[in-house]
Amino acid sequence: MTVLIITHSQDNESIPLVMNAIKAQGGKAFRFDTDRFPTEVQLDAYHTKECEKLILTSDEQKLDLSELSAVWYRRIAIGSRIPGKMDAQLRQASLQESRVTIQGMIASIKGFQLDPLQNVRLAENKQLQLQVARELGLDTPRTLTTNNPETVKQFALECEQGMIAKMLSSFAIYDEKGEEQVVFTNLVKDEDLENLQGLRFCPMTFQEKLPKALELRTTIVGQHIFTAAIDSQRNQKAQYDWRRQGLALINAWESYNLPADVQKKLLELMSYFGLNYGAIDIILTPDGRHVFLEINPVGEFFWLERSPGLPISQAIAEVLLTYQKAPSGFGGNSLRTRGSQNQATV
């Protein structure tokens, strides 16, 4: 069994974790760093009457993609090593051609995919996530996405315990020194409501501020459900977004038993999007509500392997080596109707 891991050279320790788990379970893993294509990695796609072959070559290692049993779609950065000094129009053309080449390669792979790119792209729509979550009976926060300042002011009146602001997409802003400034979730203060002119250039998402007993990270892999909890309120700088103090809190995560009814609804959410992997953020309120915030179809998990020691990489390897592409489900790739129905909450 051979697994192709689609990522980039700057990805984190989740890659060796899963590669080692695949090896331990008797499989082989081939790492494709997409930022090295087309400058250092070669792809040969043959389509003739006599044969059809896809050959990927990296560091003198060749992989016949017809031999793949599975693909783990992790990260992508196609063409980022194409020289920046190239003529701008030629570089853009090179980037575009490189991207469509690799996208075509991914679409042509016949093995099981964790997860199909079209499923991932659909699941990245956070407004749709909230809509589906509500329809499935999950508790969700009062939310507004808008570029209208007056609507924001009215929404603030509806949020009796306060309001936070966040972005639907993940990105960073770079200062004059080139240092990354991540855009975190922030509290909206009264004075902010008088300075909303920037909305005419960029919409934002606003949510009611919920009291937090704990913040939960639920990682679903196939039929396995792993949940960890963090008391983010112990750190003043992490009260509105635990990621702001992610390193300081990295060893403070603890295992958590998610209620069975919430587990069931989360699996239904995964099934709707045809996902076999998802990292889900949830708030546990002091009065016991489990409030769904969002699902990231390619979300991070590596720190949870350290503390509290959740075997997520082993579960990913198991899914990649065990399951074959199914004809049923969205995109023909869902495990929800296949195999064991066992749910493991750790």
pLDDT band at 97 (very low <50, low <70, confident <90, very high): very high
Closest CA to 156 of 132, 188, 184: 188
Selected residue with higher pLDDT from 333 and 318: 318
Encoded tokens for 311: 């075997």
For residue 225, which amino acid is it? I
Please state the rounded mean pLDDT for residues 173-194: 75
Q: Left (φ > 0), alpha (ψ -120 to 50) or beta: where does 255 sit?
A: beta
Average pLDDT over residues 50-65: 91
Could you give the percent of the chain with pLDDT greater than 90?
Answer: 75
Farthest-apart Cα atoms in the chain, separation? 70
Judge whether residue 145 has pLDDT over 70. yes
Question: CA–CA separation, 233 vs 323, rounded Å?
Answer: 40
Which domains, and CATH codes, for the chain?
Answer: 2-110 (no CATH), 142-208 (3.30.1490), 214-345 (3.30.470.20)
Per-residue pLDDT at 331:
42
Predicted confidence at residue 340, as pLDDT, reads 34
Taking residues 109-123, report their average pLDDT. Answer: 93
Distance CA 4, CA 7 (A): 10
